[in-house]
Amino acid sequence: MVKYWKPGDTLEKFIDHTLLKPDATEADIARLCEEALTYGFHSVCVNGVWVDYCRERLAGSPVNISAVVGFPLGANDPRVKAHEAAAAVEDGASEIDMVLSVGHVLQGRFGFVAGDIAGVVRAVEGQAIVKVILETGLLDDTQIAEACRVAEAAGAHYVKTSTGFGPGGATEAHVRLMRASVSPTIGVKASGGIRDGRTARRMLAAGANRLGTSAGVAILSGRPADATPPAGHRSGDEPDGARSADSRAEGQEANRQY
């Protein structure tokens, strides 16, 4: 059931705590899971290679695991996406964030897009929900609206703005458009550039039902997303005494993070 935020509601259960940078290590993922447990986020969102490890770290907790599929380009063969989704569920994912084939949307080939999405939905039916990433920065409003309708018709449970790797990120205008383009029972996930509480609440007020962000801790604590954690903050202490970069994205992703 899709949950709608209301002013005065807390934010943690609307957040998918995200780490998708290519150089993430086991220590980084352990920290992500620790933060999700500490702050009570809805899920952690990770690449497929880390799903089984997250299942071990989160065992017995209410924190879900979201796995990305066809990420970040959406250009995989549909059979590969379906297999990738099924493998992620087998490893412990209960939510799949798949990237649709952006090129086919741009060509108006929505039959292909529908089949691509439906293949993933069938592969995890009854086991996981499917969120479809549109990469809205590459599409115009007409294409966004039609992609939303196609995703719903193909059985998706959510439509989502961005990967965080493409141009731009979530905007209130796109969230409103997406909300208006699907049924109330279909969720909208805003991701890309959500780095503080004010932005998070604006996206939820615009109609988002979930937020994808690597800045969840900063959003809840009220600190700037790039601030150094205060002395004694345990989430900076990695297992076995190792210390690694925090769960912020770096490099290519730095300006368009979840």
b/e burial code for range 78-99 (CB count within 10 A of at least 16 → b): beebbbbbbbbbebbbbbbbbb
Question: Angle at Cα 249 formed by Cα 35 and Cα 28, nearest 5°?
Answer: 45
Question: Residue 14 and residue 213: Cα distance in Å, rounded?
Answer: 10
Question: Residue 26 and residue 33: Cα distance in Å, rounded?
Answer: 11
- Residue 196: count of CB within 10 angstroms of its CB: 16
Residue 36, token pair as written in the block? 């999700």
Q: Which of 139, 173, 174 is nearest to 160 (CA)?
A: 174
Task: List the beta strands (DSSP E) in the chain.
Answer: 15-19, 43-46, 64-69, 95-99, 129-133, 158-160, 187-191, 210-213
Omega of the bond leading into 72 within 30 degrees of 0 (cis): yes
* φ, ψ for residue 74, nearest 5 deg: 75, 10
In the residue annotation, 160 being an active-site residue is answered as yes
Q: Which of 16, 28, 160, 246 is catalytic?
A: 160
Are 55 and 81 within 8 A, CB to CB?
A: no
H or E element, residue 205: helix 197-206
Pairing of strands 187-191, 210-213: parallel
Burial class (CB in 10 A: 0-12, 13-18, 19+), 230: exposed
In the residue annotation, 21 being an active-site residue is answered as no
pLDDT score of 245: 34
Return the amino acid letter for 99.
Answer: V
Question: Residue 127 and residue 81: Cα distance in Å, rounded?
Answer: 16
Are 79 and 119 within 8 A, CB to CB?
A: yes
Q: Which of 21, 81, 189, 246 is catalytic?
A: 189
Alpha-carbon torsion, ordered 49, 51, 55, 57, to 10 deg: 60
Name the DSSP letter for residue 203. H
pLDDT score of 226: 61
Per-residue pLDDT in tens (0 to 9) along the chain, 258 residues: 899 999 999 999 999 999 999 999 999 999 999 999 999 999 999 999 999 999 999 999 999 999 999 999 999 999 999 999 999 999 999 999 999 999 999 999 999 999 999 999 999 999 999 999 999 999 999 999 999 999 999 999 999 999 999 998 999 999 999 999 999 999 999 999 999 999 999 999 999 999 999 999 999 998 767 644 443 333 333 322 232 333 333 334 333 444
Q: Which of 16, 28, 97, 246 is catalytic?
A: 97
In the residue annotation, 97 being an active-site residue is answered as yes
